Amino acid sequence: MKIALAQINQIVGNFRKNTEKICSYINCAKDQGAHLVIFPELAVTGYPPRDFLDIPAFVDKNLAALDEIAHHTSGISAIVGFVDKNKQPYGKLVHNAAAFIQDRKVISVHYKTLLPTYDVFDEHRYFEPARTVFPVKFRNHLLGLSICEDIWNDDEFWPRPLYERDPIKDLISQGATLIINIASSPFTAEKHEKIRLPMLIHDTLKYRVPLIYVNQVGGSDELVFDGNSTAINAEGKVIAQAAVFEEELMFVDMANPAVQVPRKSSTTIETVYRALIVGLRDYTEKCRFKKVVIGLSGGIDSAVTLALAVASLGNENVMGVLMPSQFTSESSINDAVKLCKNLSVPHKIIPISTIFDVYRDALKEEFRGTPFDVTEENLQARIRSNIIMAFSNKFGYLVLTTGNKSELSVGYCTLYGDMSGGFALISDVPKTMVYELARYMNREKEIIPQNIISRAPSAELRPNQYDQDTLPPYDILDGILKAYIEDNKCTAEIIAMGYDKKIVHTIVNKVKKNEYKRRQAAPGIKVTSKAFGSGRRMPIAHDFMC
């Protein structure tokens, strides 16, 4: 049995393009002799459709698209993810479903059993779970069809399973001889290598049956899907693995499944780099932007953001704007200009000193007798925001903000200033990883000037200002933030890890105090296990401290 794994990139709600792509892949698979072609979870609608699932017309269009897809399956069978209506007189209105199509007919429909409601997932909001699971006969196999989360609940792999049921165990008990899992599993750093793939191999070894896993690729809002579709034989050997972050139609011959295929290995920083590039590319294309504009400071964050944008969109679609004040060093201006030249990016220099003086003069009576403080610092950031947004309004550019996760965590950013923009490209990238990205991009030649990487970071909003005047060194800060935000450790546990008690309390208080800022931040790409936004939902007004 020759199986094609169709690892595709869909657009939520674009039923015409999604259907055309699915039919094209079906035709290609048939032309190359495949008996069965498998598509990802919710391939018809795109993932995640979110509250579109509450709109009856959306569900109806998805069903019409599935019917059109079925008519393209002459001479080949297909498994396609879609949304089905719940025909029971109770429960949620729709199911997350997989259609098994043969000879231009939907032979059987299989529903998702386990509906994740954690991190970025909220599937209980929309879907009715399956009450039963069953395999389907195809050629000389009984196919055990499952959908994404259904394979993530083995009580021997997970210390604490999230659900009482295990759909894979149920399918095996009914005689399934091949497990198929269609997924829309988002990327986070090291997830596939350290969690997903070991889990899939564990299942094959436990049940001694081969497994096919098909994941989507591409970006959808803050999520990026890495693909990594995989075929594993009954001995737990990977016999085929699709590309990372790329569409691919991969073929597996289940009659000869014992050959170990070498897998390309990537470093963590390389996969994060590629995720950011794909996420930005798809966000701009799917939101119909053609060009982006970035405010450049001569610092590491805006430099890395600019370099990522060029790698994603091409230098012809990226504009850099320098907006120096009286506090901006000549070195910062020179470094930013050199960066633009290295990347062949057009740039503008628009000084803000005169504009800043006008603001200060207008407020001098109100502020008389008060010292220069964060008020004047934020004025500069908001002046720059107005200028960069003017470029957006006049020319239709998407503004990329340049703040990183470390600074967003502790509020080292200005509302309606440097936080203003349409997309926060590195908002889930800790500062220490920003430096790693810079060094990675410079691995063959200098793209980001070395001086930007080596000099002490500064916002340059007052004389002799440096980040470490108010923050601990970034390696310490990022260690505390990871423990608190991603690992859910309380202050006592973090202090027990060896961090200074006063610093821990200061940082945790800053995280707590600045939730209101993060609630107003632009969306950004998730690359860590716990990103701000839909993945971390904290109240703004609260008084809890552990």
Amino acid type, 237: K
CA distance 180 to 195: 18
Distances (CA, A) of 329 to 58, 126, 374, 410, 424: 54, 53, 19, 25, 26
Burial of 346 (0-12, 13-18, 19+ CB in 10 A): exposed
CA distance 5 to 32: 12
End-to-end Cα distance, the chain: 56
Is 112 among the residues known to form the active site? yes
User: What is the number of H-type helices and E-type strands within the chain?
Assistant: 17, 19
Calculate the CA 259 to chain-centre distance.
33
Distances (CA, A) of 230 to 199, 219, 292: 12, 20, 35
Query: 21, 30, 41, 489: which one is catalytic?
Result: 41
Tokens representing 189 are 């750093």
Amino acid type, 538: M
Contact criterion met (CB below 8 Å) for 292 and 398: yes
CA distance 66 to 81: 9
> Which residues does residue 144 pair with via DSSP β-bridges, in sequence order?
179
The count of other CB atoms within 10 Å of the CB of residue 525 is: 28
Angle in degrees, CA 533, 537, 541, rounded to 5: 115
Tokens representing 51 are 């509250």
The three-state secondary structure class of 36 is strand
Tokens representing 353 are 């000193």
Query: 21, 30, 61, 112: which one is catalytic?
Result: 112
Distances (CA, A) of 188 to 168, 461, 502: 24, 34, 31
Query: 148, 222, 291, 517: which one is catalytic?
Result: 148
What is the three-state SS of 470-515? CCCCHHHHHHHHHHHHHCCCCHHHHHHCCCCHHHHHHHHHHHHHCH
Nearest partner of 135 among 161, 170, 90, judged by Cα: 170
The three-state secondary structure class of 446 is coil
Which residues are known catalytic residues?
A: 41, 112, 148
